[in-house]
Every structure is written in C-alpha cells, then in structure tokens.
Amino acid sequence: AVLVEAPAYPFPEILQEEEMEEEELVLGGCDSDDDGGQSSGLSDLEEEEGEEGDFIVVSEAEIRERQEEDVGILCSMLSVPRAWACALLVHHNWDVVKVQEAWFADEDAVRNAVGLLEEGGGSSSSPRGEKVSTCRICLEESPRGSMSAAPCGHLFCDACWACYIHIAIADGPGCLLLRCPDPACRVLVGKEMVERFAADEDGERYSLHLFRSYAGSNKRLRWCPAPNCQFGVEHVGGETYDVWCKCSHYFCWKCGEEAHRPVDCDTVARILKKHSEVENTKWILAYCKPCPKCHRQIEKNEGCMHMTCKDPCRHQFCWLCLGDWFKHGENTGGLYSCNPFNQAQESRPVDEAELRKKRAQQSLERYTHYYERWAANHTSRQKALQSIAELDTQVECLKDTYCQPHGQLKFLKEAWLQIAECRRVLKWSYAYGFYLRKNRNKQKFFEYLQGEAEAQLDVLHSCAEKEIDVFLDPTDAPLLEDFIAYRSKLVGFTSVVQRYFENLVRDLESGLKDVLPGNGEADAGDASDSGS
C-alpha cells in the first residue's frame, strides 16, 4: 500500500488540554461594567439606539463632511492650498493639532518631509508647437504645450504623467503622497495634478484612498462588519463594547464579531478557531494512524494492510494492529493472527502515541458536546430574528381580530427580542463552559445557572412561538379575555426570563467569584466530568 503523510494534528489544543494545565479563562465579556442592574435584553438596547451613549453611528457622508472640515480648518490656519493641507494631514495621520505644532515649530522641516515646494513649474504657457522638449521618461520629443511639471519644474509629457499616476493609484494609498517621477526629486505631486491626469475610475479610486486614510486614522471608528453596510461606529467613551448599528446588526466593537457577552474577545477567537479546525481533526482521528516507529500521522489510501512508512523511516507494519509486519508470518500463527480482539489487545503494547490519540478523542467528544449546543442556540436565534422580521403580519391580524392598538401589541416584539438576545447569551455561555475546567464547584454552579436560565427561556420561546397560533385564526379566534390573559402570561414570562439572564450574565462576568474553591480539585484533565 502507498502511504500519504497526513498533516500534524491541526488542533493542538485537543492534545494539549489533557497534558498541560489549561490557561486561566479571562472571564467576563467586553462589557466590564459590573452594574448588576444592567439588562441583557435586546429590548433595552433597542430603546437606547440613537441616543447619546458610548457610541455614535455615522454614515460615510458624515465622515466625508468631517474630513472636509479638517482640511478647511488647516487651510485657514496655515494659509495653504487644499492640496497641501491634504498632504500635510495624510503625513501626520490626519491630526490637525500635530500638523499645527510641527508647522509652527519648524516649517522648513515639515516642507522637506512632505515635499512641499512653491510653484515654480507646472504646465508650460508656451503655445503648442512653438518649442519642443524631451520627456525624461519615454525620451520622446513633445511640444512644450503638451508637457507638464510638478512645482519642481521637471517636465514630462502628459501621456507619461497619466501612466505614472495610473500606476501609482493602482498600487494603493501611497499615491496620496506621490513624488515627482524624477528619481532624484522628492517634490510632492499635488492632489490637483493627480486629479487632472487621472481617468474617471482612477479619480474615484484616489478619492477612496483619501477617504480610507482619514477613516483609518480614527482609532475610535470601526466599520460595521455586516455585508453591504455603509455605517461606521465611533466609540466616544465608556466600557461597553456591544454595539447596535443602524442596519440592525449587533456586534462587538473591539473584535468585530457578533456581540458575545458574557465571554471576552479572546475566548471568542479561541472557540471560533476550534469550530473551523475541528472537522479536519475529526478526519485525522477517523482515517489516520501514527507510524509505530516515527509517529508521523499517515493515511491509508490503498486496500492491503501491509504498510510501509515514507523515507527515511521505511518501517513496515500492519494497519490493523500496528504490529511489525515481519511478525505476521507462520511463526506467529499466520498473516491474520491479529484478527481476534483479545489477542490483538494483548499482543500490541499501548504506546504514548496511542494514549495521546485516545485523549484527543475524549477531548473531541467533550468539544462536540459544547459545540452542538452552541450551534443549536445559534440556529434558534437566527429563527427568532426571522420571526421578528415577519412579526408585522401577526400584529396586523391581531389588530383586526381584537381591535387592539399597536401599543397593546408591542409585547410580542418585546418577547421575541428578549428570546433572540437570550439565545445569543446562551450560545456564548457554552463557549464559556467549555473553558471553565478549573474548579468542580464552579462548574456545577455554572451548569445550574445555565440550566435554570435555559429552562425558563424554553418556556418563553414555546409560549411566543406556539401558543400564539390559536389567536391568529380570525374564523375561530378565542375571546378577547383569553387574548388578554395570554398577553399577561407572555409579558410575565418575558420579565422572568430577563431577570434570569441578567443574573447569569452578571455572575459569569464576575467569574463566579461567590463560589468557593473545590478543595484544590482541578478538572483540567477530566473530560468526562466537565463535558457532562
């Protein structure tokens, strides 16, 4: 059989978790506010949308207006052209104060650094055809009227200027501080000259580079990661990092992933990395075995059981029992002497590689336990968001059937918003639980809190999703009194679930600090206990 060497385990944490002490989990989400009264409900967050707080949602047009304001301020302050102001701001990372301080401290040094030179050249004013000059790029003679120069006075034909600027813009944002084509010259090619020779598409790209340079300089500004969203979110203070964009996307401002309270950004990155790599790990565990001699992971890709490892090992062994192939002869009972289960177990010593593989399988089973529940709550949340999008139809039906104003039907949306938010919290709580393996008491208390919150959420979810159906049939709808009773019931469930999840988030973000240590017991190597 031909062996194909499989890659090393791509999921080193699976192997290392059983051999090394797990790193301390940084407990708590991006929101480090320890205010016990802060709600984890979407309804509260939605009410705050648009109000002044820790974040400001801004559009691309608003950011461009700010950019133009900064350029105008610098033009007035230093009495320089707009092209110079743009170059100075780009060079100083769009910090108006830094430009001002540097300019008045040593104007000549700033001019030399940016390449600013008073006008001394430019397009020739001579009539076309009267004089000719040689372009220093293409070495062709051209009329002076069809040649241009930067303030340094180095003449190049207009065709070469257009080509030079096109290539510079295509290369990226370096075109914002473009220098004269003469290798020995460091004079800036200004914004007006770039726009003069740039084609329409290149001009738009240059403008985009200038805009991105400005937006990227603001460390407090992050673009919304939702597809096709044109809004940015500016952090103006505070310690809350869960953000509602105007496009309705809810995300963490620090890492750009979806909002993930009560876990922190590092935990999110670790669990998402596991999600992306676990399928490869499952394949290796299912279809690969280590060479008994060199321990490289190998894949069997042909039919016979006689295996030969690659150079330089060249060890020959049996795929079934991993025993030395030369011992599978007449002296040991024949070729298939490894068939009986007991004999195979007794004849083959359990080496370190086999133990590592078993531990990896146990860790993988534990991971699968948490991942399945993580994914199930993710799916439930997506369906809840879909139900919210389709809620208007139900509201109109109930309004017509029971003659209720919209204000009396808001409880439906509030319930579904709470469900969606709690599914999100519950989803990330399973990532929290996956890394919580240090203390048995904390593990049990965490599972108790999580189980109680999940049970209450299931009651609310069922009430909002299934019990509403009887009221949506206008031909056989229950009495108004029954609908009012249902409304009171759903409002009560919503309030109860919100309190349960507030407690869950608060306790997890505090690191379950009220739970006493479990007599020094560490569960880092006990996958069966921590995975139940």
Question: Span 59-217: which CATH code?
Answer: 3.30.40.10
What mean pLDDT comes out for the span 376-402?
89
Question: Residue 130 and residue 143: Cα distance in Å, rounded?
Answer: 7
Q: How confident is the model at residue 122 (pLDDT cuts 50, 70, 90)?
A: very low
pLDDT at 14 (0 to 100): 39
Q: Decide: helix, strand or coil at residue 515.
A: coil
Which region among 226-240, 249-263, 324-338, 449-463 has the lowest average model confidence (pLDDT)? 324-338
Structure tokens at 68: 């133009």
Q: How many other β-carbons are positioned within 10 Å of the β-carbon of residue 236?
A: 11
- 3-34 pLDDT, tens digit per residue, is 444 433 333 343 344 333 334 443 344 444 43
- Enumerate the domain spans of the chain: 59-217, 266-340+347-354, 356-530
Contact 290, 309 (CB under 8 A): no
Q: Which of 143-152, 466-475, 483-492, 515-524 has the highest mean pLDDT?
A: 483-492
Is CATH 1.20.120.1750 correct for 356-530? Answer: yes
Q: What angle do CA 429, 430, 432 make, to 5 degrees?
A: 60
- 180-211 pLDDT, tens digit per residue, is 999 888 899 888 889 889 888 888 999 889 98
Higher pLDDT, 321 or 267: 267
Q: Which of 15-19, 318-322, 406-410 has the highest mean pLDDT?
A: 406-410
pLDDT at 140 (0 to 100): 86
pLDDT at 490 (0 to 100): 94
Which region among 104-118, 218-232, 411-425, 482-496 has the lowest average model confidence (pLDDT)? 218-232
What mean pLDDT comes out for the span 507-515?
83
- Residues taking part in catalysis: 304
Structure tokens at 24: 């301390």
Question: Residue 341 and residue 92: Cα distance in Å, rounded?
Answer: 74
Question: Residue 530 and residue 484: Cα distance in Å, rounded?
Answer: 45
pTM score: 0.58
- 268-286 pLDDT, tens digit per residue, is 888 777 766 666 666 666 6
Q: What is the mean pLDDT of the chain?
A: 77
Q: E strands along 338-453, which residues?
A: none
- How crowded is the C-beta side of 414, counted as CA atoms within 13 Å? 19
Closest listed residue to residue 325, CA positions, set 333, 310, 315? 315
pLDDT at 532 (0 to 100): 32
Q: Decide: helix, strand or coil at residue 448.
A: helix
Distance of CA 57 to the CA centre of its chain: 19
- 172-186 pLDDT, tens digit per residue, is 888 898 999 998 888
- Please identify which residue in the block is written with the tokens 């965490």: 446
Closest listed residue to residue 325, CA positions, set 341, 340, 312, 309? 309
* Per-residue 3-state assignment (H helix, E strand, C coil) for 377-402: HHHHHHHHHHHHHCHHHHHHHHHHHH
What mean pLDDT comes out for the span 115-122?
63
Q: How confident is the model at residue 51 (pLDDT cuts 50, 70, 90)?
A: very low
Q: Give the CA dihedral 67, 70, 72, 78, nearest 10 degrees.
A: -140
